[in-house]
Structure 1
Amino acid sequence: MDLIVGGGVVGLSIAWRLARAGQDVTVIDPAPASGASHAAAGMLAPVSEVAYTEEPLLRLGLAALERWPAFAAELEADSGLSVDYRAHGTLDVAFGADDLAALEELAAFMDKLGLPVERLTGRECRRLEPMLSPSVRGGVLAGGDAWVDPRRVTAALLAALETMRVPVVPRRATDLLDGAVRLADGEILTGERVVLAAGAWSGELADVPVRPVKGQIMRLRSPHPLLGRCVRGMVHGSPVYLVPRGDGEVVVGATQEELGFDTRVTAGGLYELLRDARELVPGVTELELADVVAGLRPCTPDNLPLVGEVRRGLALATGHHRGGVLLAPLTTALLQGEEPELAALCSPQRF
């Protein structure tokens, strides 16, 4: 039996895939689907989110994106629930002259990497997304990017696990043993392997270089669709994104704050998000405020996840930074011995 410590999108995906393959699995989490997965926007955007010096992460992201259509279809079939998977691309836009210069440099980097992107003028951007501000100067369209609703994904995973009668233990793990987990009440659950997928809290349970990075987001509700695709932008050097949902919601995010395990939502953080989002899409100020939340991204020193065995009876599946939703299908495959070249990039032995 595998004991999966962590009930976010990564841990639940691992449990579902392993159970589907006929393995005995138990998930341990005091509040499944309530952490970073609950706060995440759900962008599956390895191309538009590419960063200098992070080509290994791009390789992982592109491989994961290829798996998402089948992953979503199979999960919807197993659970009977929609995950709102949409493959309509991401539009990166620039507000000021300096933002446009930075975006042009990034587009040149994308070209060098051979990524499929299209440069657009401000007018062409507004033709694609009429709600964009007239002040948007230009953009880059990553047509192959996609997105999904993480809350629907975790709900579907939990439903699928329930159908397969996979136990979900709603208690907190306090110690990891070889093939066993000690719970807060002292009970010890035993199995053949423990998979640590506890996100930002992984460093509290094992000696792994994972730290929390706080991200605040807001959800706005619109009676009519505001955008047809994800919009990412730079506003005077500050990044912001807007992700549309099928039900009319728009997710606006996200801050990046090194504040330990602080999950407070602050007026300042939300103000900055709404200020920048308004510069790109002025209509957001007319929308109803539906939800505000802060989550903790699990980050490693090199921004690559930690996936693989660290010793007999213990494997890691953590440290996914802002890419947990994107990388979830690939993470399970890496744990099952697939894609050895990609698995080497995520090896816990590099630290």
Structure 2
Amino acid sequence: MTARTGFGSGAGAGAGSGYKAGAAHVAVVGAGVIGLTTAFRLALAGHRVSLHATNEATGPSWVAGGMFGAYTEAWPGEEVMLHLGAASLGRWLPLLEDLEGVPAERSGILTGKGTVLAGVDAADAADVASIAETTEAHYPGVLRPVTRRELRALEPSLAPVLRGAMVCDDEWSVDNRQLLSKLAGACRDLGVERDYGKVADVDELREGTGADAVVVAAGAGAKDLLGLPIREVKGEVLRLRQRDSSESRPDRTIRARVHGRPCYLVPRTWGLAVGATEYEHGHDLTPTAGGTRTLLDDAATVFPGIEDYTFSEVTAGLRPYSPDNAPFIGTVREGVIAACGHGRNGILLAAITADAVLAEIEGAPLPDAAPANPGRLA
């Protein structure tokens, strides 16, 4: 493969094949949000796609809160992630329209618009200010400060203890499980071939399938498949259902700092997703009592009404992080493309990752994704 010519001699191309002229055959490894979104984008563009994973979407994509936190996740020194997130956010609404076939404002996947960012104590407020300063330096005006009175008018159910609040009107949240279901269904409708065998070697997969390229979107599994430096970071997320007697949930995503700990509340039609713990504990997928207690305590500090909600679920996922926290997106070697290492931002970054892989396949690499080049750490 070369960046200028791309792939064009796929076995699936040709008259009567159902694929566009010059189509490539692409094997995608991984059926989480990155793999499914990439397969969808490739198939929609007329390429032949096969999807390889031992099960349907599980892992961090299933556990996730579903936030498009492009601006409110900014942190000094991680400007690459800020720019990648902003670029991906702008691609999501068109992607959802392609996926659902209706205008984005009628999407059944979107669950909320807007984010509140706030802290509990003085140190938390200082962290919020750091996020705001970093974002403002690159995207002026996307965050706006609000007083406690203004915050009370916007989200009356939040605790008055919150301080230093900022509001972002340009972020969204999605029901990640509905998103995964819709993507899987769309891939089937577009003729994406599905294989449930375990992939142990990408070169053998490419040879065995006759694929022009293999895209590795296997999360932490990409460490063994590609030799990339990816570590697993455990995160726990709760799901709580609103009862008839419960106080109404916030309309926006609430991202809070609670005595130094991050806590988010993401709206769902049935209640709230609450997250997330984050710690390195090996390959451990077991939720803990301590993690659950901390999330519940912090969520109640931010939104006291949550104490009347019913406890529906606690799950844990392993987020795949790179050493610099930015993903790996791009060619690793001839015929092998990485789409992995997205950390806690897999949902947000799925849109730009899929577009970047499509651009790579078609021979015109996406400039917005260049900072995520897998060779940057060599």
TM-score interval (norm. to shorter): over 0.9
2:136 partner letter: D
Aligned counterparts of 2:204 and 2:196: Cα–Cα separation in 1: 21
Q: Does 1:205 pair with 2:228?
A: no
Aligned counterparts of 2:111 and 2:272: Cα–Cα separation in 1: 14
Q: Does 1:167 pair with 2:190?
A: no
1:334 partner letter: A
- 1:14 is matched with 38
- 2:265 is matched with 242
Aligned counterparts of 1:152 and 1:257: Cα–Cα separation in 2: 27
- 1:349 is matched with 375
Aligned counterparts of 2:45 and 2:138: Cα–Cα separation in 1: 36
Deviations 1:126-152 (A, max 9, x none): 211111112222301011111111111
2:32 partner letter: G
Query: 1:9, 1:154 within 8 Å by CA — same for their partners in 2?
Result: yes
1:113 to 135, 138, 147: 138
Aligned counterparts of 1:251 and 1:60: Cα–Cα separation in 2: 24
2:216 partner letter: L
Query: 1:226, 1:248 within 8 Å by CA — same for their partners in 2?
Result: no
1:121-132 matched pairs, under 5 angstroms: 121-132=147-158
1:71 to 73, 92, 95: 95
**CA 1:17–1:39: 2 relative to 1, 3 Å:** same
Post-superposition shift, 1:86? 4.6
- 2:171 is matched with 145
Query: 2:173, 2:267 within 8 Å by CA — same for their partners in 1?
Result: no
- 1:271 is matched with 293
RMSD: 1.8
| TM-score, scaled relative to structure 1 | 0.93
**CA 1:82–1:109: 2 relative to 1, 3 Å:** closer
Query: 1:221, 1:248 within 8 Å by CA — same for their partners in 2?
Result: yes
- 2:64 is matched with 40
Aligned counterparts of 1:72 and 1:138: Cα–Cα separation in 2: 33
Query: 1:178, 1:314 within 8 Å by CA — same for their partners in 2?
Result: no
1:306-345 matched pairs, under 5 angstroms: 306-337=328-359, 340-345=366-371
Aligned counterparts of 1:271 and 1:304: Cα–Cα separation in 2: 30
- 2:249 is matched with 226
Post-superposition shift, 1:340? 3.4
Aligned counterparts of 2:317 and 2:149: Cα–Cα separation in 1: 36
- 1:254 is matched with 276
Aligned counterparts of 2:108 and 2:342: Cα–Cα separation in 1: 20
Query: 1:125, 1:138 within 8 Å by CA — same for their partners in 2?
Result: no
1:83-102 matched pairs, under 5 angstroms: 83-86=108-111, 88-102=113-127
1:193 partner letter: A
1:107 partner letter: A
Aligned counterparts of 1:344 and 1:286: Cα–Cα separation in 2: 47
Query: 1:218, 1:253 within 8 Å by CA — same for their partners in 2?
Result: yes
Aligned counterparts of 2:204 and 2:28: Cα–Cα separation in 1: 13
| TM-score, scaled relative to structure 2 | 0.86
Post-superposition shift, 1:97? 2.4
Task: Give identity over the alignment, percent.
Answer: 37
Post-superposition shift, 1:346? 1.0
The alignment partner of 1:133 has SS state of coil
Post-superposition shift, 1:200? 1.4
Aligned counterparts of 2:278 and 2:75: Cα–Cα separation in 1: 16
